[in-house]
Each structure stands twice: as C-alpha cells, then as structure tokens.
C-alpha cells in the first residue's frame, strides 16, 4: 500500500422528496461546484479523473454514463461509471489514486427517484427473471422474509426494530438536510400497516432526491489543498448473490457486511472494531438492517444489537453513536447516492462541522452501505482525521 | 507503480442466439480463463465485471445478478460501465484493482446477451439519447454513426469502397478465429451492394448482434511470475470521455481517443506508437470506425489510413496487422465481451498462442481499444511481453 488517500472536498445539493424545478444534471452541477469550492476553490481542469455511480433503469437512460461529464466539468477527461452503490464508486476512485498515476479523483452520485412513477416496478427487474419475477410480488417481500428470519435467529424483538426507527427519526430532527425527522411513539410504528409482515410501513426508509460529489486526493496533494483532510484508513466491499435460492448465508444473516467489514478493518489495522470505532453511519434502509449490520460488522456480538439499542449504546450520547445523522430512515433513501451520503456525514463529524449534532472528540468513523433488496452487496469504509 | 500482467484468458463462442443464460455465458468465460492458467476461483481475490446496458439482459442491477456466474460470489465484485467501451475499460478497471495494491489477482469478466431483446437490440438504443432535446426525434444509433461516417469520408475524400476495405480485411482475418460468428470472405462489391441501412452505412459495414462472454485474469508482478514464464504486462492504460452534446463536435476526428491513447502511451513510455506498436486491435463495430480509430490512436496519419491499408501495411503480413482476431466485424459484437475479446487476442498473439492466425515475427507490443456512449468515450490498453 504505497500511499494514503484523503477526502478533501465535499459538496451536496437537493435532499428533497421531489425536485421538479431542477434536472439531475443541475443538481450534480450544484454539488460539484460546492465540492470544488470546499477543496479550496479548485478548477475541475486540474482534476485527473472522475467516477460516477448509477444504474440505467433508475435514470430511464440506456447508457447513463453518457451524461456524466458536462455538469462535473469533466469533458475530455478520464471518466467512468460504476454500476453500483456510490461507496463502491468511491472505492474505485481511491484505487485509481493508489496506483500512483493519478492525484485527484472525484466520486459522484445522485438520486432523482421522484422522476419514477413506480419504483417497485423497476426494483422487480432486479429479481431473478426465471425464478422470482414471474410471481409478480412487490420486491419488499424479501425484506419481510429477511426480517422474520433475523428476529427468529437472534431473538431480537419487533419492538427493538421499531426503536431503531424512533432513534433515527429523532436524530434527524437535528440534521437540517433530513426530510423525515420526527418524534414518533413506538405505537405509531407498531400499529402502522404492514408492508410484508413483520416489516411495517415505518420500518422502511422513504425516497429522497439529492446529489453528492466528493473529491479524493493523494497524500501529498491532500496536504497541499487542505488542513483538514479526512483519511481513508480502510475500505472493503463484498457481494453474496441476489438470488434467494443460492445465498450462502441464511436470510437472517448479512455475510456481505461481515466480509466487507473484515477487509476494511484489516486494511485499517483495526482488531477490535467496537473499541476502536468512535461512531458509525450504518445502512438502515429497513429498521432491522441497522441491527443486523451492526452485528455483522462486529460492532457488537451476534444477537446483542437489539438489547444494546435499548440500553442507549447507539444513541448520540452512547458508547457507539449510530446514525446520528438520522440515517436513511431519518434523512431519506438516496438510492445509488446512499453510500456517499454516509461518507458525507462521517466526514462532517470528523471535521467537526456537524453543527447541533456534532459528537465530541471523534477520531475514527465507520460508514457502511448496502444496495437494498434484492442485492447482497455491502461496502464498508473506515475514515479518520488523525495525522 | 505496481506492475500488472495478464496471466490467463478465455472466451465463449460468439453466436447470434445463445441458449445459455447470461450467467452461464459468464461462467464459461471465467472457467476457461482459470483453466488456461491452472487456477481455481479460490485463487481469485476480486472480480471486475462489465456488461453494457442493463436493458439487453432486461435485468436491473445486472452486476449483482451476474455475481454467481462471473465468480464474484462472496468476493469483492464491482461492475464498471462506459457503454460500448466497457469491454476494454473493464481491463483498465481490473488494473485499478491490482495496481493499487488492494488485490493480487483480479478476474475480469465481460458478458453480453443481446438476443434476449425482442424484436431487436437496436430498440434499446432509442433510450440512450437526451430525453428532452433528442429522443423526441426518435433517432436510431445507426443514423448518428452514419453522420459520423459521412463526415469522416467527406473530410478526407474517402469513398464507400475505401471504407469497405476494412470490412474485407477484418472479416477475412476472422475466418481463422475459432469463436467467430460472422467471418466471411467478402469482396468490396459485396459490401457496397449489401442492403442500405442509413446512407452511407450498408449492412456489411456493420458488425452483427451477438451473444457471448470473454474474460482475462490479471495478477500483480510476483504472482504473475510464479504463474507463468510468459506474463503479458499491461504497460499502459488510458480512458477519456467527451461531452454528451455530440452534435456540437467535429465528428471527423475522435479527440477523446487521442487523449486516451496519449495517456496510455505516456504510462507505457511510448514515443512513436506507429513504429513501436506491433499489432493493433482498434474497435471496429463499423468498418469506418477501425480506420477512424487508427488515426485517433496515432497509429496512422490522418487521411492516409486508406492508402496504408491498400498498401498492405495493416494486413496480416504487414508492419502493423490490424484486427488479427477478425475484430467485431469478423468475430462478432456482444458489446462488452467484444472489447475483452480484443484484449484476449493481444494475450494470445503476444504469447505466440494464436494458432492459425498467429501474426508472424514475434510481436512484442500490442494495443486494444474500445469506444462507446454517444460516440464519445474510448478506453485503451497497451500490452507487452
């Protein structure tokens, strides 16, 4: 591992449930402009390469990569798209710098899900065309099955999952960009209509439009550009399979998170994640996912997450604050831009720029993103502000 | 910079309608690649995956669906996508994985199954255009390439006969490729007289719609030297994307390719590409594209390419054989897999394992290129032995 890589610029725009007044290109333009300004007013001509993350079906364009360069200032520059979560895109940007050939690379992603008339229909196309799709089920049934299995295997209760929703949506009240912040009672959540038992309507994060652009730099360049670089200490990603019939793990487990975490920790030299990570932004696309991912990422023992949550361990004032930002349940779900949102929050906390939700004395943060049903792909990243 | 080599390659046959599913095609390419160097999936650290539009397979998040076919199951697996250039770019993407020091081996797998699209894969290209300014005109992909071909011919005074020479050359080369779908001994007249699709593009000017998959195994230097005594090194890589507003560009010269090629040459320390490169695999979905790309790659002076082609400079016995595999025109064009097939060809040619179609004179340095999006992106790989 030749060089360290740092995040030196952040920019975002949108974070609204609908945005009829702007196109996604305008949203990206705004985020990119803010990012370049944040990195000390850098001109995009001096950036070496650009990595976008997108999926064609979400954009209604068969080759979405075509429309990446203009609004980023990346015309006639090395540009590529990763068809994956934007945290994978960020991993690609980091690898490009680590080759030693490039110094400055952006990672960008957006969500313009409000353009879709039926998101569930798009999602159905991600399921196996032979074995699953013909049933014409709403793909969220997979989350219902997973949740049921997770509760059964670990002894976690339905109420504990609901408490994740209460915590994250309450946390979101302190985040100015969070759309879904609210003070909910346990009863509100438990009495809500089910999506697929035991998964209820409040257990699922709501859609959000937004764009995020981050600038990554090699060690030398980072020190030149900013006095508050946030270092990428470790990163890892893994995929099981989206096919229900051939998953390695049971439906109750999250092997992808375990594998991704293992790689990220070993790269960062972390042996006891629970002691060494100060706070975490963990995927909470569905309420049970936060608990399941915390266990898979070794931030607590198997089956312990629910109890620790009830003891307040994951609250902003707890031992390991989780989703202080409000998470996807509180902020909203940004689809492929989800991963970058988690990094954005982690960077803001590590820089001490998180405003009313700022945590005290934080040095190392973990962000973890999952691509949602039916996928089993997760990416974990360890970030720090040390040295 | 950490040196990265190709240590194995494999592919499926390219056919019009494969009975295999996309996963099965990927599996076959991945398996033959691992078999070619005596390794198993346990030896693979990560998978770099490529397919072109999701619409072909009709699967959202296609990269996820493909993991259990491409070998990415329970491994770090990441799909890259730059339209038609994906096949060569996936190699660049794999190079990022290994050259960064993150992984020691990376299996690059590209697949395309276009026959699932009914009635024809071209239908999906209607949705690649700008939804506000262009799509309302219902443009077809062939039309915009016809514009580019026309502009290129007009700029240098080339004729349709000139362009057909590239189709004749590539289709003939393809006859010796065991995986080829579309190789044929055709004459310039055959090409000219084939059905007119969109002037000046005739049916034989275009590569066919295909199904297939291809794969390459990349390894870091110490691993590569342990595995084989003939590693094929990735000497340089480059990629570049131009504006989406293609109507504002001069289509006679691919500036994005110029920049991508120079990036690769600089990395490889190549100063005189036209003299130093022994074999070239320019992307040839259309016959004119092969020539257009040779100019963008600096392998032929602008406007002189046809003359060099007529003189045999780019023939199998020439100074720089062009598309010894047969290219997309000869072997077939399962989009992402076609680009990787070109890199596989470099691997076989540089190791002297290309059989009947082996280029004489022990070629030592080869180049493969792919092109895509709205005539706007190119990826280049320079490999040497």
Topology given in CATH for the domain delimited by A5-117+207-225: Peroxisomal Thiolase; Chain A, domain 1 (3.40.47)
Residue labelled with tokens 């915390």: A294
Nearest-by-CA chain B residue for A380: B76
Alpha helices in chain A (DSSP H): 24-38, 56-59, 69-72, 86-98, 119-124, 141-154, 158-171, 186-190, 219-225, 255-268, 273-276, 287-296, 305-310, 327-331, 338-351
Mean pLDDT, chain B, rounded, equals 96
Q: Which domain holds residue B87?
A: 4-118+208-384
| Three-state DSSP class for residue A313 | coil
Per the CB < 8 Å rule, is B80 touching A68? no
| Three-state DSSP class for residue B139 | coil
Residue B94: give its domain's CATH number.
Answer: 3.40.47.10
For residue B321, is it left (φ>0), alpha (ψ between -120 and 50) or beta? Answer: beta
HSE on the CB side for A224, CA within 13 Å? 11
Rounded Cα gap, residues A198 and A144, in angstroms = 6
Rounded Cα gap, residues B53 and B111, in angstroms = 11
Say whether pLDDT at A387 is over 80.
no
Q: What is the pLDDT of residue B19?
A: 94
**B43-60 pLDDT tens trace:** 999 999 999 888 888 899
Rounded Cα gap, residues A349 and A353, in angstroms = 6
Say what the alpha-carbon torsion angle A280, A283, A286, A287 is, to the nearest 10 degrees: -10
A4-13, A340-349, B74-83, B112-121 — which is least confidently predicted?
B112-121
Q: Which residues of B touch A70 (CB under 8 A)?
A: 243-245
Rounded Cα gap, residues A73 and B246, in angstroms = 16
Query: Which DSSP string corresponds to B260-281?
Result: HHHHHHHHHT-S-HHHH--EEE
Q: What is the pLDDT of residue B183?
A: 85
- Picking from A50, A65, A296 by the largest number of B CB atoms within 10 A of its own CB, the best residue to mutate is A65
Per the CB < 8 Å rule, is A82 touching B81? yes
Which whole number is the average pLDDT over B282-309? 97
Say whether pLDDT at A322 is over 90.
yes
Tokens describing residue A286: 């569905």
Per the CB < 8 Å rule, is B372 touching A63? yes
**A303-317 pLDDT tens trace:** 999 999 999 999 999
Percent with pLDDT over 70 in chain B: 100
Residue labelled with tokens 């991600």: A126
Rounded Cα gap, residues B142 and B147, in angstroms = 9
Give the closest-approach CA distance of A88 to chain B in angstroms. 7
Per the CB < 8 Å rule, is B240 touching A95? no
Q: Does A77 touch chain B (CB under 8 A)?
A: yes
**Do the domain assignments include residue B130?**
no
**B203-242 pLDDT tens trace:** 999 999 999 999 999 999 999 999 999 999 999 999 999 9
Tokens describing residue B313: 């400079």
Which whole number is the average pLDDT over A273-280? 97
Q: Does B76 touch chain A (CB under 8 A)?
A: yes
Which whole number is the average pLDDT over A154-163? 98
Q: Is-above-0.90 flag for pTM? A: yes
**A230-242 pLDDT tens trace:** 999 999 999 998 8
Is the CB of residue B380 less than 8 Å from the CB of residue B369? yes
Can the peptide bond before residue A289 be classed as cis, meaning omega within 30 degrees of 0?
no
Confidence of residue A280 (pLDDT cuts 50, 70, 90): very high
| C-beta neighbour count of B79 within 10 angstroms | 32
Tokens describing residue A116: 């879709």
Which whole number is the average pLDDT over A83-89? 96
Rounded Cα gap, residues B47 and B215, in angstroms = 10
| Three-state DSSP class for residue A321 | coil
Nearest-by-CA chain A residue for B267: A101
| Three-state DSSP class for residue A112 | coil
Per the CB < 8 Å rule, is B241 touching A77? yes
Tokens describing residue B275: 């003299």
| Three-state DSSP class for residue B70 | helix
HSE on the CB side for A270, CA within 13 Å? 29
Rounded Cα gap, residues B77 and B107, in angstroms = 9
| C-beta neighbour count of A105 within 10 angstroms | 24
| C-beta neighbour count of B9 within 10 angstroms | 26
Is the CB of residue B275 less than 8 Å from the CB of residue B301? no
Say whether pLDDT at B120 is over 90.
no
**Rounded-to-5 percentages of helix, strand, coil across chain B:** 40, 20, 35
Confidence of residue A28 (pLDDT cuts 50, 70, 90): very high
**Do the domain assignments include residue B187?**
no
Q: Does A268 touch chain B (CB under 8 A)?
A: no
Tokens describing residue A258: 């375990």
**Do the domain assignments include residue B349?**
yes
State how far Cα A363 lies from the chain centre: 20
Q: Where are the domains of chain A?
A: 5-117+207-225
Per the CB < 8 Å rule, is B75 touching A239? yes
Is the CB of residue A285 less than 8 Å from the CB of residue A291? no
Per the CB < 8 Å rule, is A83 touching B67? no
Which whole number is the average pLDDT over B284-310? 97
| C-beta neighbour count of B352 within 10 angstroms | 13
Rounded Cα gap, residues B89 and B308, in angstroms = 28
State how far Cα A287 lies from the chain centre: 14
Q: Of A99, A236, A377, which is closest to B99 when you measure between CB atoms?
A: A99
Per the CB < 8 Å rule, is B239 touching A79? yes
Residue A182 phi, psi (nearest 5): -170, 160
Tokens describing residue B166: 């590239």
End-to-end CA distance of chain B: 18
Rounded Cα gap, residues B112 and B119, in angstroms = 17
Q: How many domains does chain B have?
A: 1
Q: What is the pLDDT of residue A1?
A: 44
Q: Does A101 touch chain B (CB under 8 A)?
A: yes
**Do the domain assignments include residue B188?**
no
Mean pLDDT, chain A, rounded, equals 96
Rounded Cα gap, residues B363 and B350, in angstroms = 6
Tokens describing residue B294: 């040779």
Give the closest-approach CA distance of A219 to chain B in angstroms. 14
**A259-274 pLDDT tens trace:** 999 999 999 999 999 9
| C-beta neighbour count of B92 within 10 angstroms | 28
Say what the alpha-carbon torsion angle A359, A212, A126, A200 is, to the nearest 10 degrees: 40
Say whether pLDDT at A2 is over 80.
no
**Do the domain assignments include residue B76?**
yes
Per the CB < 8 Å rule, is A377 touching B127? no
Rounded Cα gap, residues B43 and B45, in angstroms = 6
**A46-66 pLDDT tens trace:** 999 999 999 999 888 889 999
Alpha helices in chain B (DSSP H): 22-36, 54-57, 62-65, 67-70, 86-99, 141-156, 160-174, 188-193, 221-227, 255-268, 273-276, 287-296, 305-310, 327-330, 335-351
Give the closest-approach CA distance of B207 to chain A in angstroms. 20
Q: What is the pLDDT of residue B131?
A: 87
| C-beta neighbour count of A319 within 10 angstroms | 15
Q: Which residues of B touch A131 (CB under 8 A)?
A: none
Of B265, B337, B339, the residue nearest B57 (C-alpha):
B337
């Amino acid at each position: 591992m030749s060089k360290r890589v740092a995040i030196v610029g952040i920019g975002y725009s949108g974070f609204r449930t609908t945005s009829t007044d702007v196109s996604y290109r305008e949203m990206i333009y705004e985020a990119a402009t803010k990012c370049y300004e944040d990195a000390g007013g850098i001109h995009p001509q001096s950036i070496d390469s650009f990595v976008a993350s997108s999926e064609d079906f979400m954009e209604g364009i068969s080759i979405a990569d075509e429309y990446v360069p203009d609004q980023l200032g990346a015309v006639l520059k090395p540009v590529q798209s990763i068809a994956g979560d934007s945290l994978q895109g960020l991993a690609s940007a980091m690898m490009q710098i680590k080759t030693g050939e490039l110094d400055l690379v952006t990672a960008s992603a957006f969500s313009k899900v409000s353009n879709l008339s039926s998101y569930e229909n798009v999602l159905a196309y991600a399921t196996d065309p032979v074995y699953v799709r013909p049933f014409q089920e709403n793909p969220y049934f997979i989350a219902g099955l997973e949740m049921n299995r997770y509760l059964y295997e670990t002894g976690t209760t339905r109420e504990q999952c609901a408490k994740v929703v209460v915590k994250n949506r309450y946390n979101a009240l302190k985040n100015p960009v969070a759309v879904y912040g609210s003070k909910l009672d346990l009863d509100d959540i438990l009495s809500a209509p089910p999506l697929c038992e035991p998964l209820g309507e409040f257990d699922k994060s709501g859609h959000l439009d937004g764009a995020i652009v981050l600038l990554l730099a090699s060690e030398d360049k980072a020190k030149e550009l900013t006095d508050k670089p946030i270092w990428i200490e470790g990163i890892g990603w893994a995929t099981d399979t989206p096919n229900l019939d051939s998953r390695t793990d049971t439906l109750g487990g999250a092997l992808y998170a375990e594998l991704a975490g293992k790689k990220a920790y070993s790269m960062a030299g972390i042996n006891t994640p629970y002691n060494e990570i100060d706070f975490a932004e963990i995927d909470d696309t569905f309420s049970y996912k936060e608990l399941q991912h915390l266990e898979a990422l070794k931030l607590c023992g198997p089956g312990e997450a629910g109890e620790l949550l009830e003891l307040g361990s994951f609250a902003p004032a707890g031992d390991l604050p989780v989703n202080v930002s409000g998470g996807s349940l509180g902020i909203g779900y940004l689809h492929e831009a989800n991963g970058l949102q988690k990094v954005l929050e982690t960077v803001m906390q590590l820089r001490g720029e998180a405003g009313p939700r700022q945590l005290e004395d934080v040095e190392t943060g973990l962000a973890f993103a999952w691509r949602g049903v039916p996928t089993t792909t997760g990416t974990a990243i360890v970030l720090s502000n040390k040295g | 910079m950490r040196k990265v080599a190709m240590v194995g390659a494999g592919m499926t046959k390219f056919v019009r309608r494969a009975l295999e599913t996309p996963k099965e095609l990927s599996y076959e390419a991945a398996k033959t690649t691992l078999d070619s160097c005596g390794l198993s999936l346990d030896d693979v650290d990560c998978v770099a995956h490529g397919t072109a539009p999701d619409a072909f397979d009709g699967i959202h998040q296609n990269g996820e669906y493909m993991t259990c076919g491409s070998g990415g199951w329970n491994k770090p697996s990441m799909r890259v996508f730059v339209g038609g250039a994906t096949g060569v770019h996936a190699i660049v993407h794999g190079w990022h994985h290994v050259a960064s020091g993150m992984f020691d081996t990376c299996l690059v797998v590209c697949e395309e199954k276009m026959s699932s699209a009914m009635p024809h894969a071209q239908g999906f290209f209607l949705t690649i255009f700008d939804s506000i300014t262009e799509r309302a005109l219902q443009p077809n992909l062939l039309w915009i390439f016809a514009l580019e071909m026309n502009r290129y011919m007009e700029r240098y005074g080339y004729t349709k006969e000139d362009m057909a020479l590239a189709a004749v050359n590539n289709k003939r080369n393809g006859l010796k490729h065991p995986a080829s779908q579309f190789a044929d001994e055709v004459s310039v007249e055959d090409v000219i007289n084939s059905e007119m699709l969109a002037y000046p593009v005739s049916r034989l000017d275009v590569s066919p719609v295909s199904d297939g998959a291809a794969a390459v195994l990349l390894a870091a230097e110490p691993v590569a030297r342990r595995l084989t005594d003939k590693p094929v090194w990735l000497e340089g890589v480059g990629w570049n994307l131009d504006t989406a507003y293609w109507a504002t560009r001069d289509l006679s010269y691919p500036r994005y390719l110029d920049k991508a090629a120079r990036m690769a040459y600089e990395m490889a320390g190549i100063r005189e590409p036209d003299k130093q490169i022994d074999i070239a695999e320019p992307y040839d979905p259309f016959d004119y594209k092969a020539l257009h790309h040779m100019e963008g790659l600096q392998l032929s002076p602008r406007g002189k390419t046809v003359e060099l082609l007529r003189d045999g400079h780019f023939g199998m016995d020439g100074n720089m054989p062009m598309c010894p595999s047969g290219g997309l025109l000869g072997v077939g064009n399962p989009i992402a897999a076609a680009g990787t097939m070109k890199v596989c060809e470099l691997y076989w040619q540089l190791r002297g394992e290309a059989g009947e179609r082996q280029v004489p004179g022990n070629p030592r340095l080869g180049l493969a290129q792919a092109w895509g999006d709205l005539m706007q992106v190119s990826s280049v790989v320079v490999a040497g032995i």
